[in-house]
Amino acid sequence: MAEEAAVRAQAEVVRRLKHDKADPDEIAKEVAKLLEMKAQLGGDEGKHKFVLKTPKGTRDYSPKQMAIRERVFNAIISCFKRHGAEVIDTPVFELKETLTGKYGEDSKLIYDLKDQGGELLSLRYDLTVPFARYLAMNKITNIKRYHIAKVYRRDNPAMTRGRYREFYQCDFDIAGQFDPMIPDAECLKIVHEILTDLQLGDFLIKVNDRRILDGMFAVCGVPDSKFRTICSSVDKLDKVPWEEVRSEMVGEKGLSPEAADHIGEYVQLHGGLELIERLLQDPKLSQNKLAKEGLGDMKLLFEYLTLFGITGEISFDLSLARGLDYYTGVIFEAVLLQQENDHVEEPVSVGSVAGGGRYDGLVGMFDPKGRKVPCVGVSIGIERIFSILEQRVEASEEKIRTTETQVLVASAQKKLLEERLKLIAELWDAGIKAEVLYKKNPKLLNQLQYCEDTGIPLVAIVGEQELKDGVVKLRVVATREEVNVRRESLVEEIRIRTSRP
Amino acid sequence: MAEEAAVRAQAEVVRRLKHDKADPDEIAKEVAKLLEMKAQLGGDEGKHKFVLKTPKGTRDYSPKQMAIRERVFNAIISCFKRHGAEVIDTPVFELKETLTGKYGEDSKLIYDLKDQGGELLSLRYDLTVPFARYLAMNKITNIKRYHIAKVYRRDNPAMTRGRYREFYQCDFDIAGQFDPMIPDAECLKIVHEILTDLQLGDFLIKVNDRRILDGMFAVCGVPDSKFRTICSSVDKLDKVPWEEVRSEMVGEKGLSPEAADHIGEYVQLHGGLELIERLLQDPKLSQNKLAKEGLGDMKLLFEYLTLFGITGEISFDLSLARGLDYYTGVIFEAVLLQQENDHVEEPVSVGSVAGGGRYDGLVGMFDPKGRKVPCVGVSIGIERIFSILEQRVEASEEKIRTTETQVLVASAQKKLLEERLKLIAELWDAGIKAEVLYKKNPKLLNQLQYCEDTGIPLVAIVGEQELKDGVVKLRVVATREEVNVRRESLVEEIRIRTSRP
């Protein structure tokens, strides 16, 4: 594209300008030349000078979408605060080497910044690695924090399913050396509270443990070197049937058919405390040190979850195997269940909305002396939740307000702009949310229509008679009721009429 | 650095893997080889494997800093909502060409992303250009919105003065065809409200108009081609004395000494309505069409500001010339004034904390048919404000809470973890903000100390006697007062005792 050539030429000029000590007039001339070049190119291609879009895999949020987003964030932040979390923030990019070696095969999805002279930088891929870097850098060994921010992945997004290249993560993590499984249980309680609070329908939180998985692979005869790759095959079981996963293991990954079949028996198991007890008696698993440790902790976890009263929505599931390299203990993932109906026998999962686990080694990777800080955390998959709620709002024809304006300051006659401005300044200064149309002489009908359109509940009308009488006419948009209010009582009257019960 | 070589080698492998259809075992082998290579390098360089820092010009926010940040954001968002603004969000990066040609000399400060195959992308430099792109793309001709997000500039940051390469902007803009100066006046009212609300001390909002500046340059004999570069010299007047600016104009930029001296007379003028009236009679300026238009609107603006009651902190200042290319009408900038003391005659400005202006041409640059949408907006310089408030908190020894926890669930004896967990789940489910120490048998003293350290006001203590009696001992941390509360009344009791008056 010719346009791109101009962009590149400009980049070239900028680079030269940066390195030479150019004088300002030179710069001005160069820039003028480029702008001209650009204008000409625009001319060649007709009037459409720009590709008017957001980058692939990203989107703008409209005011209506933002209103939904705010609701969801409020529910999540309330929950995090209810559990005593502090909040931190980190930069959107990190030194490239901070991210290197943390994400296994997914490293290819990291966005790098251009080398413009200086450090090599990459956009963050998640909030967990920056958190670990933050802990190591500040020698923090003990913190409970949340962090809500955007992360970046050069994925091939299926945007209809709520997947993007830029998306929010809402993370809650507990770092520190504590007695086993108490923080882990709290993370699951948090997921349960948030999904209940958001009323997304039935959900299930699947739980497993990396040590149980690794122990299982060992007793099934998977060679050590294949643990990770076989684990990533198991990870696909929520999307493809066992037969396909088995043939990937045996065909592509060279696992023996016997080992695969053995795995196949284990990964279909799911249940609660009884299953854990049974596996603790399993002749093979009980002989494996890792598996035994994992099962012991899983039992403790389920005891705590029973005290929290949430085991009804939690399933110990041996097929759960989250992809990330850094997990070391318990792992979990929450899925929404399709609404049951007459045609479906068992509820079907429609996608993951939260996930997390324990990662006891990650902070040590950053510490100069390798000191470990045990961590467990959860990440809420907010984009999927937005999509669901957005669709629901669309379907319900619920009218979502995008502002919180309590009152429109209006006038019934001409030449009252000054009076409207004086009144609205009084209201603003008293903390009332108020608007005024930016017209010298708006028609009353248009002002009322504006309230209808945007959901403003009250109109404060100034007219010549009202000014003489020292009153303001307050109109309730919904009922068309009108009442004269003394000017000095107006603020109080608006407050009473717009306070939520 | 050897480390960098490994990183580059890895990037190379990833690139190859991306383009070929590599099989998973190949990938695993390659990655293993690289990790080994990395480990060896680490060995060569001793135990310090990573540079533990955030990228140049960026910083993390600690929980304490976030608590201050939240206060400031709340004040700003309240004000924006009070004025009826909707909220939008846009991606952190834009197509590179979206930003091209919008920032004049500052374009060299834009962060570009690496070309990883796909679109050429840049991090946003401000929120105004993405806003204009959003309006044009969605054919919106009428909106009042705010947007709070981080922007990126490859500046050489003076971080002690609150300048960073990654920093927040808080923007409020009004787009649409309206009667003159009403939205412009509201923007200034907003700056006034926010700075008053934040109690940052005395401030001054300087106002000027691009048309008055251009008219002034014309009547002073500046050639058209030098308007922009002379304007950027004038822009420096808040930092360097006139003599230096004059010598830059005459020496570096080749302006005639007479023209420079003529400008020098104008730019020392500042005042209110009387100054505007005087300049409207100025024999030269009044003959210039642009200047006359600008002065006429300035007069109208000051009339509205008088109705808003805020002219005391506003100064029409002919030396104000904001750097950005896209302004077309009124421009303004708010500065904090140094606290007066006996040694200083006149208050001195210590830095800009807000700025903005009218940009009627920007949206048209994005519209395929060049349709214009007039806009005016303000940007709050939040980082400077953070720095000031942070310093103030440090100096005052004010203790800032970083959590909102209302109650710690504690026990006086051993073996009561289960009872603590049962009680805290009840509290969480009732919406109480509660914490528990993650220990099986914590000492009561340690639990009370935790409350002292983190500012938790209440402790709910379970013990064997209390369990038998169906009560919980509620302790007020500040007074050490203890009272037995029936378990079913506990939630209500905590609510009453922690509700703010």
Q: Rounded to whole angstroms, how far apart are CA atoms A148 and A131?
A: 12
Q: Which of B11, B152, B418 sits opposite A307 (nearest CB)?
A: B418
The token duo for B11 is 């990037």
Strand residue runs (E) in B257-311: 270-271
Which CA distances in Å does A392 have to A62, A194, A387?
17, 18, 9
Strand residue runs (E) in B112-158: 121-123, 143-152
**Helix or strand (DSSP H, E) at A403:** none
Largest CA distance in chain B: 95
- pLDDT, tens only, A396-442: 888 899 999 999 999 989 999 999 999 999 999 999 999 999 999 99
Binding residues of A for L-histidine are 126-128, 153, 169, 173, 322, 326-327
Residue A164 pLDDT more than 80? yes
Task: Give the residue-averaged pLDDT of B296-305.
Answer: 98
Helices first, then strands: H and E counts in chain A: 18, 16
Interface test with B, best of A70, A74, A87 (most B CBs within 10 A): A87
- pLDDT, tens only, B76-110: 999 999 999 999 999 999 999 999 888 877 889 99
Q: List the single residue in B with minimal CA-CA distance to A407.
A: B84
With CB atoms and an 8 Å threshold, state whether B97 touches A7: yes
Residue A347 pLDDT more than 90? no
State the SS3 of A270-285: EECHHHHHHHHCCCCH
Please list, residue by residue across B252-277, b when 16 or more beta carbons sit within 10 angstroms of its beta carbon and e when fewer do.
ebebeeebbebbbebbeebebeebbe
State the SS3 of A233-279: HHHHHHCCCHHHHHHHHHHHCCCCHHHHHHHHHHHCCEECHHHHHHH
Q: Rounded to whole angstroms, how far apart are CA atoms B477 and B482?
A: 9
pLDDT band for B394, please (50, 70, 90 cuts).
Answer: confident
Question: Residue A165's closest CA among B113, B3, B8, B478?
Answer: B113
Task: Give the residue-averaged pLDDT of A369-394.
Answer: 92
Alpha carbon A450 to its chain centroid, in Å, reads 34
- Look up residue B281 and give its DSSP letter: T
Task: Indicate the length of chain A as a whole number.
Answer: 501
CB A160 within 8 A of CB A132: no
Question: Residue A322's closest CA among A472, A103, A471?
Answer: A103
The token duo for A50 is 């720009």
Q: What is the pLDDT of residue B26?
A: 56
Distance from CA of B432 to the nearest CA of A (A): 6
- pLDDT, tens only, B31-73: 555 555 554 444 444 444 568 999 999 999 999 999 999 999 9
The CATH class for the domain spanning A407-499 reads alpha beta
Question: Residue A120's closest CA among A102, A134, A137, A100?
Answer: A100
Residue B17 pLDDT more than 80? no
The secondary structure of A368-383 as a DSSP string is TT-----EEEEEE-HH
Please list, residue by residue across B139-151, b when 16 or more beta carbons sit within 10 angstroms of its beta carbon and e when fewer do.
ebeebbbbbbbbb
CB B165 within 8 A of CB B56: yes
Which residues of chain B have a CB within 8 Å of the CB of A61? 88-90
Q: Rounded to whole angstroms, how far apart are CA atoms B108 and A16?
A: 10
Which residues of chain B have a CB within 8 Å of the CB of A4? 120
The token duo for B389 is 């408030």
Distance from CA of A13 to the nearest CA of B (A): 10
Alpha carbon A237 to its chain centroid, in Å, reads 24
Interface test with A, best of B25, B50, B59, B152 (most A CBs within 10 A): B50
- Greater pLDDT, A156 or A496: A496
- Greater pLDDT, B16 or A352: A352
Binding residues of B for L-histidine are 126-128, 153, 169, 173, 322, 326-327
- Greater pLDDT, B122 or A393: B122
Q: Which ipTM was obtained for this model?
A: 0.85
Q: Lowest mean pLDDT: which of A8-22, B300-314, B425-439?
A: A8-22
Strands B143-152 and B270-271 turn out to be unpaired
Tell me the Cα Rg of chain A: 30
**Helix or strand (DSSP H, E) at A494:** helix A490-498
Q: What is the pLDDT of residue B40?
A: 47
Which residues of chain B have a CB within 8 Å of the CB of A369? 47
The secondary structure of A72-106 as a DSSP string is HHHHHHHHHHHTT-EE-B--SEEEHHHHTTSSGGG
Q: Lowest mean pLDDT: which of A70-74, A100-104, A159-163, A203-207?
A: A159-163
Task: Give the residue-averaged pLDDT of A156-160.
Answer: 60
Q: What is the pLDDT of residue B81?
A: 98
pLDDT band for B190, please (50, 70, 90 cuts).
Answer: very high
Which residues of chain A have a CB within 8 Å of the CB of B138? 60, 62
Task: Give the residue-averaged pLDDT of A217-229.
Answer: 93
Q: What is the pLDDT of residue A339?
A: 62
Q: Rounded to whole angstroms, how far apart are CA atoms B200 and A145?
A: 29
- Enumerate residues 6+ apart whose C-beta is below 8 A from A387: A161, A162
Which residues of chain A have a CB within 8 Å of the CB of B104? 31
Q: Which of A101, A111, A150 sits opposite B113 (nearest CB)?
A: A111
Q: Rounded to whole angstroms, how far apart are CA atoms A442 and B45?
A: 74
Residue A181 pLDDT more than 90? yes
Q: Rounded to whole angstroms, how far apart are CA atoms A149 and B229?
A: 39
Residue ranges of chain A that CATH labels 3.30.930.10: 63-395
Q: Which of B23, B229, B435 sits opposite A84 (nearest CB)?
A: B435
Identity of the residue numbered A427: L
CB B183 within 8 A of CB A436: no
* Backbone angle region of A57, left / alpha / beta, with phi > 0 → left and psi within -120 to 50 → alpha: left
* Number of other CB atoms surrounding residue B461 within 10 Å: 23
Q: Rounded to whole angstroms, how far apart are CA atoms B424 and B432?
A: 9
Distance from CA of A387 to the nearest CA of B (A): 16
Which residues of chain A have a CB within 8 Å of the CB of B417? 179, 182
Identity of the residue numbered A17: L
pLDDT band for B21, please (50, 70, 90 cuts).
Answer: very low
pLDDT band for A15, please (50, 70, 90 cuts).
Answer: low
* Backbone angle region of A431, left / alpha / beta, with phi > 0 → left and psi within -120 to 50 → alpha: left
What's this model's pTM, rounded to 2 decimal places? Answer: 0.86
Residue B363 pLDDT more than 90? yes
Distance from CA of A170 to the nearest CA of B (A): 16
Q: What is the pLDDT of residue A439?
A: 96
pLDDT band for A26, please (50, 70, 90 cuts).
Answer: low
The residues with which A352 forms a beta bridge, in sequence order, are A335
A65-68 long-range contacts, CB within 8 A, separation 24+ = A65/A386, A65/A390, A66/A402, A66/B86, A66/B87, A66/B88, A66/B89, A67/A400, A67/A401, A67/A402, A68/A386, A68/A389, A68/A390, A68/A393, A68/A400
Q: Which of A51, A97, A112 sits opposite B95 (nearest CB)?
A: A51
Task: Give the residue-averaged pLDDT of A159-176.
Answer: 85
Strands A270-271 and A166-175 turn out to be unpaired
- pLDDT, tens only, B216-246: 999 999 999 999 889 989 988 888 899 999 9
Distance from CA of A269 to the nearest CA of B (A): 27
- Greater pLDDT, A40 or A331: A331
- pLDDT, tens only, A246-300: 999 999 999 999 999 999 999 999 999 999 999 999 999 999 999 999 999 999 9
Sheet bearing A166-175, strands edge to edge: A86-87, A143-152, A166-175, A375-380, A349-358, A330-337, A203-209, A314-317, A270-271
pLDDT over 70 percentage in chain B: 86
Domain A63-395 matching CATH 3.30.70.340: the answer reads no
Question: Residue B184's closest CA among B87, B273, B299, B94?
Answer: B299
Q: What is the pLDDT of residue B9?
A: 52
Task: Give the residue-averaged pLDDT of A214-221.
Answer: 96
- pLDDT, tens only, B112-165: 999 998 899 999 999 999 999 999 999 999 999 999 999 999 987 655 555 789
Which residues of chain B have a CB within 8 Å of the CB of A35? 101
Q: What is the pLDDT of residue B28?
A: 54
CB B445 within 8 A of CB B482: no
**Helix or strand (DSSP H, E) at B133:** helix B128-137
Alpha carbon B211 to its chain centroid, in Å, reads 28
* Number of other CB atoms surrounding residue A468 within 10 Å: 8
With CB atoms and an 8 Å threshold, state whether B81 touches A154: no
Q: List the single residue in A with minimal CA-CA distance to B84.
A: A405
The token duo for B212 is 């008055």
Which residues of chain B have a CB within 8 Å of the CB of A108? 14, 17-18
The secondary structure of B371-430 as a DSSP string is ----EEEEEE-HHHHHHHHHHHHHHHTPPPPS----EEEEESSSS-HHHHHHHHHHHHHT
Distance from CA of B434 to the nearest CA of A (A): 6
Sheet bearing B482-486, strands edge to edge: B434-435, B407-411, B458-462, B471-476, B482-486
Across chain A, mean pLDDT equals: 89
- pLDDT, tens only, A56-71: 999 999 999 999 999 9
Identity of the residue numbered A102: K
- pLDDT, tens only, B463-475: 999 999 999 999 9
Q: What is the pLDDT of residue A333?
A: 96
Q: Which of A60, A92, A101 sits opposite B89 (nearest CB)?
A: A60
Strands A270-271 and A143-152 turn out to be unpaired
With CB atoms and an 8 Å threshold, state whether A58 touches B93: yes
The token duo for B471 is 């009560």
Residue ranges of chain B that CATH labels 3.40.50.800: 407-499
Identity of the residue numbered B19: H
